[in-house]
Amino acid sequence: MKHLVLTLLAIAMLLAVPALADTTLMVASDLHYLAPSLFEGSDLFLRNISQGDGKAPQYSAELLRALLDEALEIRPDALLLTGDLTFNGEKQSHLELAAAMDTLRDAGIPVWVIPGNHDINSPRAFAYHGETYEKTEAVTPAEFSEIWQRCMLPAEASVGLSYHVPLNDSVWLAMLDVSVYEEAVEAYGFYSEELQEWLLPLMAEAKENGVTVVSATHQSLIPHSSYRPGSYCIYNREYLQEDLRSGGVTLNLSGHIHVMHVIRQNGLTDAATGSMCVSPHCFGLVTIPEGGEPRYERHTLTHLPEDVRTATAAWFDANTRRQFLDVLETLDVTPEEKEAMGRYALWYQASYFGGTVPDREALLADPAYALWETYAPNSSIFNAIRRIVTQDTGEAP
């Protein structure tokens, strides 16, 4: 009898303890949203971006709708947008995108943003009309802060547009603005002394309270490849890495490189979310068990209409082809070899941007690797492939 009472007591106690809940974050990056009124009906705009990097801002409205629908279905505890919110910092694009995020906030999903190198003081904010274009209004840091005030928590003591969000009792977000836009607009990031002075006490407080902190930056905290780390990374990243580690941070969320890639070094992971504006339109989901280490997973938009998905994939494919077709035309190779080299380059590029990078063995084993190495060893496409094959990718994430 005593045994039964004790068992019932134990069950009652277990039921009284609330189950530990996971915190879920959804992260999207490099939306490069462009207000339709700034380009609609302009063939010049389409011709210009057809010479770009595969971004498809002509589908801005459809991509935004799909992102909102995706978030409404997933219902994360927060949606994070890690910079390059707009195509080239147009005020109109900022206004429309910020207003659209109210849909999520009204549905109980907070949205937190940081700027990227394209968002503030942009010299390239243009409006297209038919066969002409002109400068359109860009935003200053103060205007950015004003437009995005419902998606930021800049504290009095904060620096620039960085802030911290106490998401719940166990998870805080450190949203770090490391973009450089005050005197000149730069692609690289910089961790300033002022930001460090603000971050260190926050890290100490988090540690004292046993809180899990997830940080977010636009530029990479850890180089994802040896290609132009000076442009893609935080210039003095070692200091930031050290300070984040001091607060027990194990995951930083970044964007900027448009490639979906996760890298880990000395216990710190930098998860770069691919560009929402580039096929296959990746986003990340972070699961944080209470008291546990955050886990990052790659996803792609499922709410995008099929015709748009097909069109953006073809757009990316055409941009990739343009980058290597000129090279192939100059080579003294057979049509079969040319075909094999083209197929290989398309496979590599689509995998790399979509976050399903083939492993080194798979890249090396394909006979087309040897063809590229023999006939076009100095081409940019082969150099990109060689970087993957030879780079130090850190620890397995």
**Positions in the binding site for Fe ion (CB under 5 A):** 84, 116-117, 256
Q: DSSP assignment, residue 234?
A: B
| CA proximity to 194, closest of 244, 228, 145, 158 | 158
Determine the residue type at 51: Q
State which residue, 117 or 162, has the beta carbon closest to Fe ion: 117
Which token pair is 167? 């998401």
Closest contact distance (angstroms) between CB of 180 and Fe ion is 11
Helix (H, G, I), strand (E, B) or coil at 395: strand
Q: Residues 6 or more apart from 195 whose CB is under 8 A from it?
A: 159, 160, 162, 176, 177, 178
First to last CA, the chain: 52
- Nearer to Fe ion by C-beta: 116 or 223? 116
206/257 with CB nearer Fe ion? 257
> Distance (Å, rounded) from C-alpha 124 to C-alpha 140?
13
Closest to Fe ion by CB, 116 vs 355, is 116
Side chain identity at residue 335, one-letter code:
P
* Residue among 77, 116, 98 nearest 35 (CA): 98
Q: Minimum Å distance from CB 292 to Fe ion?
A: 31
Q: Based on CB atoms, which residue is closest to Fe ion, 164 or 256?
A: 256
Which residue lies nearer to Fe ion by CB, 62 or 84? 84
- Report, in Å, the least distance between residue 369 CB and Fe ion: 30
Distance of alpha carbon 151 from alpha carbon 113, whole angstroms: 6
CB of 187 vs Fe ion, minimal distance in Å = 7
Q: In angstroms, give the least distance from the CB of 84 to Fe ion.
A: 4
Decide whether 23 or 122 has the Cβ nearer to Fe ion.
122
Alpha helix (H) residue ranges in 75-188: 91-106, 141-147
Q: Is the dihedral of CA 384, 387, 389, 394 positive or negative?
A: negative
97-119 burial by CB neighbour count: b if 16+ within 10 A, else e?
A: bbebbebbeeeebbbbbbbbbbb
Taking the least distance from each CB to Fe ion, the nearer of 117 and 269 is 117
In the complex, residue closest to Fe ion by CB? 256
**Residue with smaller CB distance to Fe ion, 141 or 289:** 141
User: How many Cα atoms occupy the beta-carbon half-sphere of 216 within 13 Å?
Assistant: 31
Are 220 and 233 a contacting pair, CB within 8 Å? yes
Paired strand residues for 174: 164, 215
The SS3 assignment for 4 reads: helix
**Residue 232 Cβ, how far from Fe ion at the closest point, in Å?**
8
Distance CA 302, CA 309 (A): 9
CB of 119 to Fe ion, least distance (A): 9
